[in-house]
A and B are shown apart, each in its own frame.
Chain A
Amino acid sequence: MNYFPDEVIEHIFEYVGSHRDRNALSLVCRSWYRIERCTREKVFIGNCYSITPERLIQRFPSLKSLTLKGKPHFADFSLVPHGWGGFVYPWIEALAKGKVALEELRLKRMVVSDESLELLSRAFPNFKSLVLVSCEEFTTDGLAAIAANCKWLRELDLQENEVDDHKGQWLSCFPDSCTSLVSLNFACLKGEINTGVLERLVARSPNLKSLRLNRSVPLDALQRILARAPQLVDLGVGSLVHDPAMETFAKLMTTMNKCKSITSLSGFLEVTPRCLTAMYPILPKLTSLNLSYAAGIPGSDLIKLIRHCKKLQRLWIMDSIGDKGLGVVANTCKELQELRVFPSDNIGQHAAVTEKGLVAISMGCPKLHSLLYFCHQMTNAALITVAKNCPNFIRFRLAILDATKPDPDTNQPLDEGFGAIVQSCRRLRRLSLSGQLTDKVFLYIGMYAEQLEMLSIAFAGESDKGMLYVLNGCKKLRKLEIRDCPFGNTALLTDVGKYETMRSLWMSSCEVTVGACKVLAMKMPRLNVEIFNENEPADCEPDDVQKVEKMYLYRTLAGKRKDAPEYVWTL
């Protein structure tokens, strides 16, 4: 029932940005659905196979910004074989055909060919922003097309992509008339770039706020670039290696002193620790610091750096900082909200982190809500303490390097520790487990983790009960990914309706058989149930009783996909 004319409602909807809120609006009544769909500009598709591009375009004619995710999360860890899917080309083609006025495209874990980048650069005259995260298959030729043809490009953000570097002059393809850049991130590129071209590009980009360089940009070039961009807010240093001409170093220090706006710092893919003194002028203002790729900085230097970073909200660092270093973080970074500690290659060294570091952090950083922690060991006592100190966790991901390690003090599984986490952190949305775990931890999760949306399980549990606790208890579960657990057909088939309330389920190296997957697929036509048969010849029908190596199922309105490779059977 509308008491306002459409235009008024439209205007009100303009203030509603988040996808969830928009989705909720569209469910209220038919006319709200209609108004909402006509005014929606940003759409997020968590699984590119859940819907066809044509259907999307039909529903949202005003589409300007599209976010797409392709491969399942475990593809990050080499569990999805090559060629599985997630091709962006059909999407770009459809958007072009549908004459969508696309301005922004954000892709994660998708296969992006040069061809698609080429098409993208030509088909959308207003295109402004391209963000590629963990994508593959494109080369610098594709980037050259984007640079050359996107007249109003504001953002080119490449994060952790596997890019074939043809060492062409893609940067030179930005025409002189391109002055609109706000964000340029090419840290993941492996090849050389022409620093002169880069400097000139930076010089004619007065709005440039974010610049992340790759390791080929040396110290002297960094200094010249920064001298032209004192307005930068986010800087990714490629390489900071000792320059024999100390004048350059002194110049860099002077230049850094003029960069008063930098609040985010990352990179240091190659670094001489001594050169880090150049960064000290900007450390006190930093809110975000990512040193997770800076393998060249020893723990003691990390600690020295951190002491100056009193305003940090986000810290990504390597475990070479050690428990003691995390203690320093806890004492210094009182505003810390997100912490990620990655394993360095020095496995076995005493400097790595244990439960002690995490406890220290929990005591010193009450605002912490997101954690990714790779460590050598964890204890129940520590987790219980952390749960008490930090009840605000939204994301809690623990990866013990020894995946099934029990509590080293008591030799007990970590059920109680994780139980404490889910019981205390009522707002928990994402959880990753590791260590020795029985079915009990899943009982706790099912009981307490009411807001849980994503759960990652590996080498845990004892029986189907574990998985059932989770499926029955976690009402808001959207993504469940399981590997190497003794969950089988009963767990899979007890509540098949549940999967339509979720985005996807991944199970690999579990106890599920082909027969059970077939039953599931038959009962639920709006699910795609894919099983991967890498070891069987393609024409060989698997036996019903055979265990499934890898299964990925997801809800979809698009039906069975047509681009699956040979080894993928959609049942």
Chain B
Amino acid sequence: MSAEKGYVGLGEVGEMEESIGLNLKATELRLGLPGSESPVKSTSLGAKRGFSDAIDGKWVLSGNGKAGSDLALGKDASLFSPPSDNTNNDPLPLPQPSKPIPAPAAKAQVVGWPPIRSFRKNSMATQPPQKNEADAEPKPGCLYVKVSMDGAPYLRKMDLNNYASYRDLSSALEKMFSCFTLGQCGSHGVSSRDNSSESKLRDLLHSSEYVLTYEDKDGDWMLVGDVPWEMFTDSCKRLRIMKSSEAIGLAPRAMEKCRSRN
């Protein structure tokens, strides 16, 4: 059946391709003869080269010698121009690249894949890369800050990105530090089922004995809760559950600072 013979498969990989550093198998276009080889591993030769990454610019591969089909990737060419006649039953000979394949720097891809509307594609093309204005470092997926509590023997670390609001943060702190306030410290840390210690801590935190503060990007110690949550996570570098006696004078500075910065 012509269907089985007609395709110029990239299934055959010879030493020549491997020595050039080109792994045709990595292109994974399994359009060759059925059952002709084992499933293609995409991780041979180390680099995981995806279908599109492996095709760079114009590849000119000759097919069975007779038809000499060109596999050119241009604007309007499809991936395969099957040979007009393919009468031989032999497995296709090694496709020979006619020029050395450069490392896949540019991402010249198959026409129409991935299937994204051209409007969207063009729109993305004119987009500037993600703006990193004031924050020069790329935003990490997690935002770990040290948390200390006055009088506790050691500090903790927490990921601010796990919380969406001050309330979440506050309950997480309650869980984390409840063992310290009552001198109970199991070897496995805080027991979240121990409601009494948590509520005691909550009372402590909400009473005037302790105050939750944070150090911001400028190194100043601020009272937690004045600014919108996102602004807080943006500028918070560490947290400190501070004894009230030490916290005098913090609150007014926070709002002033917010105003002057913005």
The answer to whether the Cβ of B209 comes within 8 Å of any Cβ in the partner chain is no
Pick the residue among B6, B28, B141, B230 that contacts A486 (CB under 8 A). B6
Q: Which residues of A contact B207 (CB under 8 A)?
A: none
The answer to whether the Cβ of B184 comes within 8 Å of any Cβ in the partner chain is no
Enumerate A238-274 residues with CB–CB distance to B below 8 Å.
242, 246, 249-250, 269, 272-274
Q: Which residues of B contact A280 (CB under 8 A)?
A: 228, 230
Q: Which residues of A contact B140 (CB under 8 A)?
A: 300
Q: Which residues of A contact B4 (CB under 8 A)?
A: 462-463, 486
Pick the residue among B27, B107, B139 that contacts A347 (CB under 8 A). B107
Interface bits A292-325 vs B (CB < 8 Å: 1, else 0):
1101111111011001100000000000001010
The answer to whether the Cβ of A4 comes within 8 Å of any Cβ in the partner chain is no
Pick the residue among A74, A303, A411, A432 that contacts B41 (CB under 8 A). A411
Interface bits B149-179 vs A (CB < 8 Å: 1, else 0):
0000000000001001000000000000000
Q: Which residues of B contact A160 (CB under 8 A)?
A: 117, 119-120
Q: Is the CB of B52 within 8 A of A76?
A: no
Q: What separation, in Å, do the CA atoms of A304 and B161 have in the docked complex? A: 8
The answer to whether the Cβ of A124 comes within 8 Å of any Cβ in the partner chain is no
Known: A296-B131, A342-B116, A486-B7. A436 touches B262 (CB 8 A): no
Partner-binding segment picked from B29-37, B196-204, B211-219: B29-37
Q: Which residues of A contact B131 (CB under 8 A)?
A: 272-273, 296
Q: Is the CB of A277 within 8 A of B230?
A: yes
Pick the residue among A274, A406, A509, A550 that contacts B42 (CB under 8 A). A406
The chain A residue with its CB closest to the CB of B140 is: A300
Q: Which residues of B contact A303 (CB under 8 A)?
A: 141, 161
The answer to whether the Cβ of A140 comes within 8 Å of any Cβ in the partner chain is no
Q: What separation, in Å, do the CA atoms of A459 and B139 have in the docked complex? A: 37
The answer to whether the Cβ of B246 comes within 8 Å of any Cβ in the partner chain is no
Q: Is the CB of B3 within 8 A of A464?
A: yes
Q: Is the CB of A296 within 8 A of B127?
A: yes
Q: Is the CB of A403 within 8 A of B51?
A: yes
A to B contact number (C-beta, < 8 Å): 190
Q: What separation, in Å, do the CA atoms of A247 and B238 have in the docked complex? A: 29
Q: Which residues of B contact A374 (CB under 8 A)?
A: 114, 116
Q: What separation, in Å, do the CA atoms of A399 and B29 have in the docked complex? A: 16
Enumerate B12-37 residues with CB–CB distance to A below 8 Å.
27-31, 34
Q: What separation, in Å, do the CA atoms of A134 and B119 have in the docked complex? A: 8
Q: What separation, in Å, do the CA atoms of A459 and B7 have in the docked complex? A: 12
Q: What separation, in Å, do the CA atoms of A547 and B79 have in the docked complex? A: 14
The answer to whether the Cβ of A545 comes within 8 Å of any Cβ in the partner chain is yes
The chain B residue with its CB closest to the CB of A332 is: B164
Q: What separation, in Å, do the CA atoms of A295 and B164 have in the docked complex? A: 23
Q: Which residues of B contact A298 (CB under 8 A)?
A: 130, 138-139
Pick the residue among A242, A348, A511 that contacts B3 (CB under 8 A). A511
The answer to whether the Cβ of B50 comes within 8 Å of any Cβ in the partner chain is yes
Pick the residue among B50, B112, B138 that contacts A402 (CB under 8 A). B50
Interface size class of B (residues with CB under 8 A): 35 or more
Pick the residue among B53, B123, B133 that contacts A293 (CB under 8 A). B123
The answer to whether the Cβ of A412 comes within 8 Å of any Cβ in the partner chain is yes
Q: What separation, in Å, do the CA atoms of A85 and B50 have in the docked complex? A: 35
Q: Which residues of A contact B233 (CB under 8 A)?
A: 304
Q: Is the CB of A79 within 8 A of B6?
A: no
Q: What separation, in Å, do the CA atoms of A545 and B2 have in the docked complex? A: 11
Q: Is the CB of A74 within 8 A of B112?
A: yes
Interface bits A535-562 vs B (CB < 8 Å: 1, else 0):
0000000010111011000000000000
Q: What separation, in Å, do the CA atoms of A462 and B85 have in the docked complex? A: 19
Interface bits B128-142 vs A (CB < 8 Å: 1, else 0):
111101100011110
Interface bits A506-523 vs B (CB < 8 Å: 1, else 0):
001101010000000000
Interface bits A89-123 vs B (CB < 8 Å: 1, else 0):
00000000000000000000000000000000000
Q: Which residues of A contact B124 (CB under 8 A)?
A: 295, 344-345
Q: Which residues of A contact B231 (CB under 8 A)?
A: 277
| Distance in Å: Cβ of B209 to nearest Cβ of chain A | 31
Q: What separation, in Å, do the CA atoms of A402 and B107 have in the docked complex? A: 12
Known: A403-B110, A509-B80. A188 touches B28 (CB 8 A): no
Q: Is the CB of B117 within 8 A of A134?
A: yes
Q: Is the CB of A484 within 8 A of B130?
A: no
Pick the residue among A249, A401, A436 that contacts B50 (CB under 8 A). A401
The answer to whether the Cβ of A162 comes within 8 Å of any Cβ in the partner chain is yes
Pick the residue among B6, B28, B42 that contacts A511 (CB under 8 A). B6
The answer to whether the Cβ of B225 comes within 8 Å of any Cβ in the partner chain is no
| Distance in Å: Cβ of B258 to nearest Cβ of chain A | 10
The answer to whether the Cβ of B90 comes within 8 Å of any Cβ in the partner chain is no
The answer to whether the Cβ of B84 comes within 8 Å of any Cβ in the partner chain is yes
Q: Is the CB of A488 within 8 A of B2?
A: yes
Known: A463-B34, A464-B3. A412 touches B119 (CB 8 A): no
Q: Which residues of A contact B78 (CB under 8 A)?
A: 79, 483-484, 508-509, 549-550
Q: Is the CB of B112 within 8 A of A404?
A: no
Pick the residue among B84, B113, B164, B234 that contacts A545 (CB under 8 A). B84
The answer to whether the Cβ of B185 comes within 8 Å of any Cβ in the partner chain is no
The answer to whether the Cβ of A413 comes within 8 Å of any Cβ in the partner chain is yes
The answer to whether the Cβ of B111 comes within 8 Å of any Cβ in the partner chain is yes
Known: A436-B39, A463-B34. A486 touches B115 (CB 8 A): no
The answer to whether the Cβ of B256 comes within 8 Å of any Cβ in the partner chain is no
Interface bits B215-244 vs A (CB < 8 Å: 1, else 0):
000000000000010110110000000000
Additional A-B contacts beyond A376-B50, A403-B113 (13; CB < 8 A): A74-B112, A77-B111, A280-B228, A280-B230, A297-B130, A347-B107, A348-B53, A403-B114, A408-B42, A459-B31, A486-B31, A488-B2, A489-B2
Q: Which residues of A contact B (CB under 8 A)?
A: 74, 76-79, 81, 134, 160-162, 188, 242, 246, 249-250, 269, 272-274, 276-277, 280, 292-293, 295-301, 303-304, 307-308, 322, 324, 342-345, 347-348, 351, 374, 376, 399, 401-406, 408, 411-413, 432, 436, 456, 458-459, 462-464, 483-491, 508-509, 511, 513, 534, 543, 545-547, 549-550
Between A and B, 22 residue pairs with Cβ closer than 8 Å are A77-B112, A77-B116, A78-B118, A79-B78, A79-B111, A160-B119, A188-B119, A298-B138, A303-B161, A304-B164, A347-B53, A347-B107, A401-B50, A401-B52, A406-B39, A411-B40, A436-B30, A458-B113, A463-B3, A486-B4, A488-B3, A490-B1
Q: Which residues of B contact A (CB under 8 A)?
A: 1-4, 6-7, 27-31, 34, 39-43, 50-53, 76, 78-82, 84-85, 107, 110-120, 123-124, 127-131, 133-134, 138-141, 161, 164, 228, 230-231, 233-234, 262
